Amino acid sequence: MRPPPTPASLSNIKRPTLGLKRDSSYLDTDDEANLSGVTKRLRVAFSPNVDVRIMDNNWDEKSFELVKEEVRVAIERHSLPVERRDDALYTKLVTMLSQDAQEGEAVSGKLLQKYLMALESRVSVLGECGKLVIAVLDLAWLGRDDTFVGLYARFLSSLVSAHSKYIMPLFQRLVGNFARLPASLGRLPDEAAVSRHQMFSRLHLFTKSTLRQVPSATGTLTRVLKAEFPIDLATTKSYIQYQRQLLKLSQYAPELKAEIMALIMQRLVSIDVQIQQDLEDLGDEAEERLLQRPRLHDNTELVDDSDDSDNESVSSSEETTTEEEQRWREIRLKVAKMDGTLDMLFAYYDPLIRLGPEPHLNDAYLQILSHFTTFILPNRTRHAQFLLFHFAQISEEHVTLFTQRCAEIAFGNYTTAQRINAIAYLSSFIARGSHVTTWSVQDVVSALLSYLDLCRQRYEPTCQGPDKRAYASYYAAAQALLYIFCFRWRDLVIGTADPEIDGDDYEEEDVLAESRDLAWLPDLHEILRQNVRSRLNPLKVCSPAIAGEFADIARHVRFDEVVSILESNKRLRLGQTSNYYGAAGRVGGIDIGRRETAWDRKTGDAHHQLEAYFPFDPYHLPKSKKWVEADYNEWKLPRGMKEDKEEDYSEDESAEESDDEELEAGFANGVLVDTASTSS
């Protein structure tokens, strides 16, 4: 840089003209502290009417002084009052910065560096230069060299410090690359190739530095993260990639971790519920068809930061599909997203919970419990809840925390729907969790027994007969006990009725084979016996599949004989019970001579009976099922029970026999969700 002119030589200074090469080094404000007051006055007095043009040739030869002058004049003329404003140069500058970096005539990276430095020197006056700032924010910077990236970072730092209104568009552009970051952005002309991994690192570096510089920007970033979240019909690759970047962001922005994890869970629950609604619209066999048919474009294994391809782009053959085929394709796409998201969350939470502190001090486990209460429990999900199913079985303490949370809702001051759902989760977890201990099974069953009998004592004196709407929570608890009994009856045995073999090693089935009785958990036999024979008649309101299976197993293990009650219930039509029961609970004066048909049961009683909803039915998602396979207690009949089931007590009508077989098959396969209404 030439030294600044002295006062004595001021008279010799010549103003630059268009015809001469200018020496505008004295305009360099980077060394402003060394300039004399006279020099500063000279700079201010420089005529704003000088015709400055953006040169079309020899970009790299353009001096920094000339670039800075172009920027100054463009901004000053743009900032004039409307009647005097001249935006010609400003518009050319915006157009130049907006050029596609892949085009042959695009501005070089070296020249862009000069413009960045020039703009940074005038960052304080960029508040009213929105188009110019947006053009700079849209520059292809991710694939530039480290020097360019450093200058760009310095400019952005100065920009957001001076003008907070540009924080939102900056975050929108940074986060907008999370879902889809084309490899072409790292392959710019005359630049060394930059990997996608490095580009992602740069995105997070800029995001992190902005948050540190402007801590109040967390609220803005949260809004952007929600707005930029991919839609449900986006590719699986982009959908999972976006969420992985959110998890990375949460590592250096712990103040956003709760918001980020809640956002991911909320979207998971949303897509899970949508899939269930879509399958219900398509019919009873839709889920089976979805699982059996080969999935299209299952490339979620390839989703990582180094994957440059878009494996789920729509092919020409898919563009010609029918409306039904398109709908199936959309459902499979949603399933792939749900599967990939769950696999990602299992992997994320596993070390945090398994290797972390005790469950009541473990933020990750407590977070999942909170998400269960807030997002999962109020909705009818099919797979999202298996995160808790898996991690709640790590230890006895994890089991206890989850069952206590369910019990608090089931027996607390909550809505009827919430209590019923909590009871369903409690019973399904105890029945299906393979790592749930005998102690936990007995503890939960004892709590359900106490609740059931309290309800019976409260409701029976005024009860006119079985009524799901009036006693919904009671029937939910009864069905839960029947369901747990079917799966875990061995854990409810505390010995044998024969004192001679108590304390010795024995198998329950061996004792039964010798026609000996088993000793059961205290109060189990007495309370269940009293309730199934009460006016409330839970065997009529509970799901026929579960009531029938309980009757079979209870008879086989010599616990109770309730087949006669099921037979009597076939002559009872729900909704007519006020006339059915007399003062002493005996059959009243209505006509009960006609046998109820299968059609009657489907059209008459189905909406009066409980839905067989148990949230931890078998898990079928192909990618993430590996996390829960070892946690699952499969259904199996007691030894020798197949022979007993040959003594059929079902209806004579073949239609009803067929219906019973479907229910039993559903129980064995874990597919117990029917279309009965759950309203109460």
State pLDDT tens for residues 311-369.
Answer: 444 444 445 568 888 888 999 999 999 999 999 999 999 999 999 999 999 999 999 99
Residue 153 pLDDT:
96
Residue 438 pLDDT:
95
Tokens of 553: 């197993």
Q: How far apart (Å, rounded) are the C-alpha atoms in residues 538 and 547?
A: 9
Q: Write the CB contacts of 54 (distance below 8 Å, at least 6 apart in sequence).
A: 70, 89, 92, 93, 96
Percent of the chain at pLDDT > 70 equals 73
Q: Residues 118-156: pLDDT tens digits?
A: 999 999 999 999 999 999 999 999 999 999 999 999 999
Tokens of 380: 């009818």
Q: How far apart (Å, rounded) are the C-alpha atoms in residues 119 and 126?
A: 8
Per DSSP, the three-state class of 493 is strand
- Please choose, from the candidates 133, 122, 163, 129, the residue with its C-alpha nearest in 3D space to the C-alpha of residue 28: 122
Judged against a pLDDT cut of 90, whether residue 608 lies above it is answered with no
For residues 330, 333, 338 and 340, what is the CA-based torsion angle, rounded to 10 degrees?
Answer: 180
What is the longest distance spanned by two Cα atoms in the chain?
Answer: 126
Q: How far apart (Å, rounded) are the C-alpha atoms in residues 357 and 347?
A: 18
Q: Residues 283-314: pLDDT tens digits?
A: 766 766 676 544 444 444 444 555 554 444 44
- Please choose, from the candidates 71, 134, 108, the residue with its C-alpha nearest in 3D space to the C-alpha of residue 188: 108
Residue 611 pLDDT:
87
Residue 412 pLDDT:
93
Residue 641 pLDDT:
78
Q: Which amino acid is at 457?
A: Q
Within 10 A of 445 (CB to CB), how many other CB atoms are there? 22
Within 10 A of 253 (CB to CB), how many other CB atoms are there? 19
Residue 500 pLDDT:
62
Q: How far apart (Å, rounded) are the C-alpha atoms in residues 488 and 480?
A: 12
Q: Write the CB contacts of 256 (distance below 8 Å, at least 6 apart in sequence).
A: 218, 221, 222, 225, 249, 250
**Which letter does DSSP use for residue 587 in this model?**
B
- Please choose, from the candidates 413, 477, 403, the residue with its C-alpha nearest in 3D space to the C-alpha of residue 437: 403
Judged against a pLDDT cut of 80, whether residue 225 lies above it is answered with yes
Residue 345 pLDDT:
98
For residues 573, 574, 580 and 583, what is the CA-based torsion angle, rounded to 10 degrees?
Answer: 160
Q: Where are the alpha helices (DSSP H) in 355-415?
A: 363-371, 386-391, 396-410
Q: Where are the alpha helices (DSSP H) in 45-142?
A: 64-78, 88-97, 109-121, 130-137
Tokens of 78: 């743009």
SS3 readout for 235-265: CHHHHHHHHHHHHHHHHHCHHHHHHHHHHHH
Residue 32 pLDDT:
34
* Mean per-residue pLDDT of the chain: 80
- Tell me the β-bridge partners of 433: 632
Tokens of 251: 């590592």
Min mean pLDDT across 170-174, 465-469, 584-588, 617-621 is at 584-588
Residue 60 pLDDT:
54
Residue 96 pLDDT:
92
Tokens of 241: 């990639």
Q: Write the CB contacts of 576 (distance below 8 Å, at least 6 apart in sequence).
A: 590
The answer to whether 383 touches 338, Cβ cutoff 8 Å, is yes
Q: Is 152 exposed, middle or buried (0-12, 13-18, 19+ CB in 10 A)?
A: buried
Within 10 A of 19 (CB to CB), how many other CB atoms are there? 5
The answer to whether 194 touches 186, Cβ cutoff 8 Å, is yes
Judged against a pLDDT cut of 60, whether residue 610 lies above it is answered with yes
Write phi, then psi, for 315 (nearest 5 degrees): -85, 165
Q: Residues 1-40: pLDDT tens digits?
A: 455 454 444 344 444 433 333 333 333 333 333 333 333 3
Q: Where are the alpha helices (DSSP H) in 163-256?
A: 167-179, 196-213, 218-227, 236-252
Number of residues that make up the chain: 680
b/e sequence 359-388, b meaning 16+ C-beta within 10 Å: beebebbebbbebbeebbbeebbbbbbbbb
Q: How far apart (Å, rounded) are the C-alpha atoms in residues 146 and 135?
A: 21
Residue 582 pLDDT:
45
Q: Residues 146-184: pLDDT tens digits?
A: 999 999 999 999 999 999 999 999 999 999 999 999 999
pLDDT band at 664 (very low <50, low <70, confident <90, very high): very low
Tell me the average pLDDT across 270-293.
78
Residue 374 pLDDT:
95
Q: Residues 95-104: pLDDT tens digits?
A: 999 988 887 7
Judged against a pLDDT cut of 90, whether residue 200 lies above it is answered with yes
Q: Write the CB contacts of 467 (distance below 8 Å, at least 6 apart in sequence).
A: 541, 574, 577
Judged against a pLDDT cut of 70, whether residue 45 lies above it is answered with no
The answer to whether 342 touches 268, Cβ cutoff 8 Å, is yes
Residue 506 pLDDT:
67
Cα→Cα distances 658→598, 645, 651, Å: 9, 15, 10
Q: How far apart (Å, rounded) are the C-alpha atoms in residues 479 and 612?
A: 9
Cα→Cα distances 424→483, 533, 542, 582, Å: 10, 23, 12, 33
Cα→Cα distances 511→439, 486, 490, 556, 653, Å: 22, 18, 12, 12, 37
Q: Residues 544-592: pLDDT tens digits?
A: 999 999 999 999 988 999 999 998 888 887 765 544 444 444 333 333 3
b/e sequence 64-90, b meaning 16+ C-beta within 10 Å: bbbbbbbbbbbbebbeeeeeeeeeebb
Q: How many C-alpha atoms does 93 have within 13 Å on its Cβ side?
A: 30
Judged against a pLDDT cut of 50, whether residue 271 lies above it is answered with yes
What is the CA angle 155-159-160, rounded to 5? 125
